[in-house]
A and B are shown apart, each in its own frame.
Chain A
């Protein structure tokens, strides 16, 4: 079974804190993705990565950065958390040539107070 794991299911942080969300996949997938999901807005792509050390901006990259030092691990960083970054964050991975079939992690519900 493909497995995508995320470091936390729930996280509470204060405004201004630096936040790290980690994602690990065990299927040797080339592509990895970070989304956020908000009620009424659906899933929106923040960043994605085709390969180690490669990253591309998605639809809403502002306020976020990412790091991919190893193929299986993709980190999302909130440099200075703000209340409008309170959301559900979902990580996904896929094979490069089957990019439409993404495997998602369980999500991290982040609350910034």
Chain B
């Protein structure tokens, strides 16, 4: 699986848009990019997945440039409840059955 690099932590304020970037220089042709969110004392939760360009759902948007060596998770107008750890994962889907979680990005949203 391609290795991912993301910031250890980020700070934001309520109402701001937050962009978390993940680097995956060795991404393979068949790899997809997946993001998870984990609140304290809970298991991770799937947020979004994409292959190229832009994907949007009710929670977030995922931007993937043409070279696919990085991706950006965008959270619009964050609230205090978005304080969590965000994990970027890369792997071929739907073929791969295991996920490799890195250390993630701790997002702290303040009032």
Residues of A within 8 A of B (CB): 4, 31, 33, 35, 40-45, 48, 50, 58, 90-92, 94, 96-107
Contact = CB atoms under 8 A, between A and B. Distances in A.
Contacts of B103: 40-42
A48 B104 CA distance: 22
Interface in B13-51: 32, 34, 41-46, 49
A99 B44 contact: no
B99 A102 contact: yes
Chain B, interface size category, equals 20 to 34
Given A40-B103, A43-B101, A104 B44 contact: yes
Interface of B: 32, 34, 41-46, 49, 87, 89, 91, 93-104
23 contacts: A4-B43, A40-B103, A41-B103, A42-B103, A42-B104, A43-B101, A44-B101, A48-B97, A58-B98, A98-B94, A99-B93, A99-B95, A99-B96, A100-B32, A100-B49, A100-B89, A100-B96, A101-B49, A102-B46, A102-B99, A104-B42, A106-B42, A106-B43
Nearest to A44: B101
